[in-house]
Amino acid sequence: MAIKTEPLVVNIGPQHPSTHGVFRMRVTLDGELITDAEMVIGYLHRSMEKLAEERTWTQNIPFTDRMDYLAAMTGNFAYCITVEKLAGIEVPERAEYLRVIFAELQRIASHAMANGTFVNDCGAWQTPLFYMFREREKILDLFEMTCGARLTLNYMRIGGVAFDIPDEFLPQLQLLVDELPDRFDEYDQLLVDNEILLMRSRDIGIISAEDAMNASLSGPMLRGSGVAWDVRKGDPYGVYDRFDFEIPVGHTGDCFDRFMVRMAEVRQSLSIIKQAMEQLPPGNHCAEVPLNFRPPEGEIYCRIESPKGELGYYLISDGSPFPFRFHVRSPSLINLSALKEMVVGQTVADAIVTLGSIDINVGEVDR
């Protein structure tokens, strides 16, 4: 006969390294096992969706930096293409290719952070995290070279990008894309067959393909469960339909599969960057957009494949210089919604690994 203990409620967070930001997980324990879990959010709420209604369409671009601030370029990208489709603005070819290059560099940097911190959650010491930070820093150097910032970049503009790339950018980028495959081969050797990583992540935090789709999960969360869906292929935007790349998928839908999907996606991003560099055309870096920009009346939803999944913007214009409605479909919030189903029946230690495998950014959860 199994012995049941008195239920114990434990708060994990809101300020704790394992919660990856000011997020609180309130778990009910029966001994070591979790019997219930409650996600408590809102500690980082900044009301940016409401604030955006009082700022011009261009002034709202910095808000998109500060949601998933570890992938600011893709936040810029999603918002700008949504406004452009609403207003019927044609983006110059060169700007489209530059956007792809920067978005894929941002994906590599984001996945390096996600996998480095995930391995740390699994119990590794700081070495893998600092190795991946090394590659991320080189990408941030390229961002700084181009727009002067490293984190909240504010580089993309309605109609293109703020500046053309400097002369030294492409040679430095070429050095990086030549070097990174060997670096990630090293990480594969270091981590993929590591017994501790396998023990801590395999068959932990499983979510089936059916449950993942029913919960509207996206990105590595969905692909880790074996669903080959990527907005870049399924609903192409920009010039993504001109590039040849694969969609990595997992099989079990556990933490290890999500880790491996992100590792594989880095290699696909490198392939896309190489193709974009080869095809990069001359020309203008931005279309002419009036300072007193007023899109026509209408509404639109547009989405992209951010490092964390489907990032979409729903915008309504009443013909004024300010959005009538500004709403974000953030992948961190949607992906987090499945956490309870993934952690009930696990230990607290496994729940920390499961949360780390989701790769949330609380700035994107709360907005």
Instruction: Give residue-wise pLDDT tens across range 250-261.
Output: 999 999 999 999
> Residues 323-365: pLDDT tens digits?
999 999 999 999 999 999 999 999 999 999 999 999 899 989 9
> Residues 124-140: pLDDT tens digits?
777 888 888 899 999 99
pLDDT computed for residue 122 by the predictor: 87
pLDDT computed for residue 1 by the predictor: 55
Please tell me whether the peptide bond between 295 and the residue prior to it is cis, using omega within 30 degrees of 0: no
Instruction: In the chain, count H helices and then E strands.
Output: 15, 8
* Structural tokens at position 179: 């070097």
CB 304 within 8 Å of CB 311: yes
For the domain 8-366, what is the CATH superfamily, name and number? Cytochrome-c3 Hydrogenase, chain B (1.10.645.10)
**200 closest CA partner among 123, 112, 116, 111:** 123
Between CA 157 and CA 64 the distance in angstroms is 11
Between CA 330 and CA 309 the distance in angstroms is 8
Coil, helix or strand at residue 273 = helix
CB 49 within 8 Å of CB 328: yes
Q: 146 burial class (0-12, 13-18, 19+ CB within 10 angstroms)?
A: buried
* Structural tokens at position 54: 């009082």
Between CA 218 and CA 251 the distance in angstroms is 15
Give the residue ranges of the chain where pLDDT is below 70: 1-4
Q: At residue 167, what is the residue type?
A: D
pLDDT computed for residue 100 by the predictor: 96
Please report, in angstroms and rounded to a whole number, the separation of the first and last CA atoms in the chain.
48
CB 276 within 8 Å of CB 100: yes
Between CA 95 and CA 216 the distance in angstroms is 31
Which residues have C-beta within 8 Å of that of residue 159, sequence separation ≥ 6? 80, 84, 89, 91, 95, 286, 287, 288, 289
pTM: 0.93
**224 closest CA partner among 243, 202, 241:** 202
* Helical segments of 55-126, H only: 61-65, 72-87, 93-121
Other beta carbons less than 10 A from residue 320's beta carbon: 13
The domain spans of the chain are 8-366
Between CA 29 and CA 167 the distance in angstroms is 58
